[in-house]
Amino acid sequence: MKDERLFRLYKLHKVDARLIDIKNRAEHLDLGKKEAAFAKKLQEENADALARHKDLKSEIEELKVKNEQTEGKIAKFNKDLYDGTIVSAKEVENLQKEIAMLEDLAISNALRIEELENELAPLSQSVKTVMAQVEELKKRIVKKRADAEVLHKELQAAFKETGAQRGPLESEVEPELITVYNQVRKKTGGTGMALVTEAKRCAACGIDIPEKVRDAIQSGRTQQCESCRRILFIHKEAEE
Ligand SMILES: [Zn+2]
């Protein structure tokens, strides 16, 4: 015997279940959080190497700038020395001393640069690998977020479309049933109806449904699950 009353409520329940499913999916979109956490972990694990790499690079850069300035000064002083503008022996001597000092400085800077570059080379390799991994992860995050945005729009549209079916279906169910249904909906955050499974359990909370309750449902009486209070429905009976 097909219970038309409950079957009309069942149609509303199915729409509500779909709405809940759409909402859940929208709330659990993959925004690349796993990738972001992994990128963070990689950067944290390699924090020392990354920091040392950065320091070395800036130190080398600074020394190179200094050396360019030193070389510039040496060139200028040499020019002054040989173009005949300086004639005093004392001045010549001072300038030569200055040039010798600058040359020493240039050499020690060059040695220091070499030393730092030797330390930098192997570090650069591992930093490059880490940064490439991080970049790859970032790309994946961007892709996932773009996909999630598209999916979110689709879900929004589906929610709107499915939601529009509610009103007409609800108006076909008797008010007493709707009242109970909505109370349970409010309480559970799910729908207000549950099927009785083939194993004779409530499909929503899993509790066993006693035979007398099943008999009552089949004889057309409204029965609520003892545990979750959902209105019980035997689907197979309804479709026969
Ligand atoms: Zn239940």
> How many Å lie between the centroid of ligand 1 and the Cα of residue 168?
27
Question: What DSSP letter does each residue of 11-51 carry, written as one string?
Answer: HHHHHHHHHHHHHHHHHT---SHHHHHHHHHHHHHTHHHHH
Centre of ligand 1 to C-alpha 223, Å, is: 11
CA 195 to ligand 1 centroid distance, Å: 9
How many CB atoms lie under 10 A from the CB of residue 26?
A: 17
**How many A from CA of 28 to the centre of ligand 1?**
25
Calpha distance 92→97 (Å, rounded): 9
Name the nearest CA neighbour of 46 among 136, 120, 129. Answer: 129
Distance from residue 104's CA to the centre of ligand 1 (Å): 88
Distance (Å) from CA 94 to ligand 1 centroid: 100
CA of 150 to the centre of ligand 1 (A): 36
pLDDT in tens, the chain (240 residues): 467 889 999 999 999 999 999 999 999 999 999 999 999 999 999 999 999 999 999 999 999 999 999 999 999 999 998 887 777 889 999 999 999 999 999 999 999 999 999 999 999 999 999 999 999 999 999 999 999 999 999 999 999 999 999 999 999 999 999 999 999 999 999 999 999 999 999 999 999 999 999 999 988 889 999 999 999 999 764 454
Specify the residue for token string 């001045």: 91
Question: How close is the Cα of 25 to the center of ligand 1, in Å?
Answer: 23
Q: How far is the CA of 140 from the centre of ligand 1 (A)?
A: 42
What is the distance in A from the centroid of ligand 1 to the CA of 231?
A: 8
Q: How far is CA 96 from CA 71, 107, 108, 110, in A?
A: 14, 17, 18, 21
- Calculate how far, in angstroms, residue 83's C-alpha sits from the geometric centre of ligand 1: 103
Task: State in Å: Cα 232 to ligand 1 middle.
Answer: 8
Supply the pLDDT for residue 2.
Answer: 60
